[in-house]
Structure 1
């Protein structure tokens, strides 16, 4: 079998090893990590965010390793073997280029570069959103607005990546039919058959040890970066923040953090305690005023958490019910109505049944555990 460094001289019809083991491992590992990220991001709920983040970071690491191998790998792994000038790409797309490329053709090379770029942007916008909006990870010092913009851009890029992957798959099928070779199989075996008229390649020697050293250095730098400032500031439960509020409110229900409602909503609640969701929860005027002042001074506009920002907008007809807000509905849209009325949850207002940090108002996605149904 002919080695990848001598494809220029391979006799017609002889098997040629085009894709080395590292290129193939990169390709299929990237397929697996992106598939996992897509399923956990588009289909599964927030409780799978840790797996989503892990798969995204793996995809980013794979792209970084592939970039290194693009400079230090063998002939067809090199960027110079498949990154072509615009004129050559256009010629290939319009049928002017009749020769066959053993490695990536000009259009395939451009697509590969685009896919790698989008994966890299996805990783960075995801980390920006995780830091700015959720105050977790290496970018937790980013302003909330930048984090939220990062999450929105992350969703757009994710959709773009799916479209690009679909286009890549369709193009591979069409090219396989046009060239009468199974491109997907060659990415498994690494083997193609040499043919007359194949484009000659710029022969290159691989430097695996140097590549491994560079990748190890990059991995270490990334690991150190990801470990820095990875935890959000500690948020104390409400019961530890205000003794009077805790004493009066926890007697009947969860002590909801003041950052979950706007000042308008809290005034509505505290002004109607004589008919508090079907119960008389009236307080003496001094205690009522004291709790009202505390709630308003710690309302949604004062906290840098994602739930606070989403609950900050006052409604035209405030009811004081957290579960009737648009923000609550958006945050729980992936769950069925039945989920909230089965044991041990029983109610939409029983936040602590699924959120371990409910009383802190933080509602970290890493603290979500949807309770399993238990016999009544």
Structure 2
């Protein structure tokens, strides 16, 4: 029978046997471990759904879930050094040799039962924490480089952001694969040890049995852990706030020429210059006398000033996602943003009735859906797609 000893911590002291002679239970997982575990499950679920299934307008929820995930990982790492025995890394982390030995014992049917994480479970915990941390880092880089938002936008170019996004996506699928293996491992170990490990992570308690591998006793230091976690959170929040306020790399902050909006917006949407390359803008200004069938000519001084401003802020001068992707115009339509492959692909899921509706009217009305279209930013969180036009009832 499992016996408590004088130096055994309260977390591993058996409870009184249940009525009917049931085995006593011991507390294995403390509230911090259980809470962080299920909170991390929730954060990963939200991040996965908003990142893989939802549309781009859910980006702020995705970023929030990622930030929560990063905070939970940091807190779990702190608790891994300052928590009680079963929570501490020293209580369950082992080397590759011990993992291989455990695998051989499982195959031979001689593996013992661990009150805490067994060697395979310990390796899974480290892998999950590492990939979650990698997702947070690559997500920040991608956010800064591709969307020009967040604390790293001031130092991250679009190309670096795209590379980080590719790694971020690989890590996301890797995390889902590890989660599937983790669940399969929990099911396998539950059957092998004849206990419900999922319930144990809810209650924190497991049956006490002879021959269990019991984690070494370690006193928890909750005050130190809370102080360190709050300190990390405070420093991170201050750094994020200070860095986010810095201008994004590759996004000029010069004020637009008021004459551009006045002259161009009088007839159509005044597109931000970064949405077309310099060659297209030069051709447009050269043909103002026959501007899509109309004479849009201006006085020479205004024309020269606007040409200079537009060319200085054309797609080649910006490092936003829109500027990078819209530099490659269709040769047959060098002035049409909506004819580019990038525009057609990113708008392929929007019904034509949306563009025909009274709130949009045409595909070229970017401002109808993008609140920051005039600034050339096109941040996904600023997207609001109006309701489609009603269809006529058939007789």
Same fold (TM over 0.5): yes
- Residue 7 of structure 1 is matched in structure 2 by 12
Structure 2: state its 5+ residue gaps. none
- Residue 166 of structure 1 is matched in structure 2 by 180
Aligned counterparts, 1:271-290, within 5 A? 279-283=293-297, 286=300
Q: Please give the alpha-carbon distance, in whole angstroms, between the structure 2 residues aligned to 1:22 and 1:50.
A: 27
Distance 1:185 1:136, change over 3 A: same
- Residue 195 of structure 2 is matched in structure 1 by 181
Q: Please give the alpha-carbon distance, in whole angstroms, between the structure 2 residues aligned to 1:249 and 1:305.
A: 23
Larger Rg belongs to:
2
Root-mean-square deviation (CA, aligned residues, Å) is 3.0
Q: String of CA shifts for 1:262-301, please: whole Å, max 9, x gaps.
A: 1233345445667756x43543694666655543332111
- Residue 16 of structure 1 is matched in structure 2 by 26
DSSP-derived class of the 2:269 partner: coil
Q: String of CA shifts for 1:112-140, please: whole Å, max 9, x gaps.
A: 11111111111111111222333322212
Distance 1:236 1:109, change over 3 A: closer
Tell whether 2:319 aligns with 1:304: yes
- Residue 230 of structure 1 is matched in structure 2 by 244
Structure 1: state its 5+ residue gaps. none
Q: Please give the alpha-carbon distance, in whole angstroms, between the structure 1 residues aligned to 2:348 and 2:368.
A: 17
DSSP-derived class of the 1:228 partner: helix
Tell whether 2:149 aligns with 1:136: yes
Tell whether 2:87 aligns with 1:73: no
| TM-score (norm: length of structure 2) | 0.85
2:315·2:327 contact (CA, 8 Å) conserved in 1? Answer: yes
Matched residue count: 374
Compare 326-335 and 76-85 and name the one that shifted more.
326-335
Aligned counterparts, 1:337-356, within 5 A? 337-356=352-371
- Pick from 364, 367, 376: which aligns with 2:382? 367
- Residue 52 of structure 2 is matched in structure 1 by 42
| TM-score (norm: length of structure 1) | 0.89
- Residue 30 of structure 1 is matched in structure 2 by 40
DSSP-derived class of the 2:268 partner: coil
Q: Please give the alpha-carbon distance, in whole angstroms, between the structure 2 residues aligned to 1:317 and 1:232.
A: 40
Distance 1:217 1:314, change over 3 A: same
1:40·1:51 contact (CA, 8 Å) conserved in 2? Answer: yes
- Residue 151 of structure 1 is matched in structure 2 by 165
2:29·2:204 contact (CA, 8 Å) conserved in 1? Answer: yes
Q: String of CA shifts for 1:179-198, please: whole Å, max 9, x gaps.
A: 22111111111111112221
Aligned counterparts, 1:45-60, within 5 A? 45-60=55-70
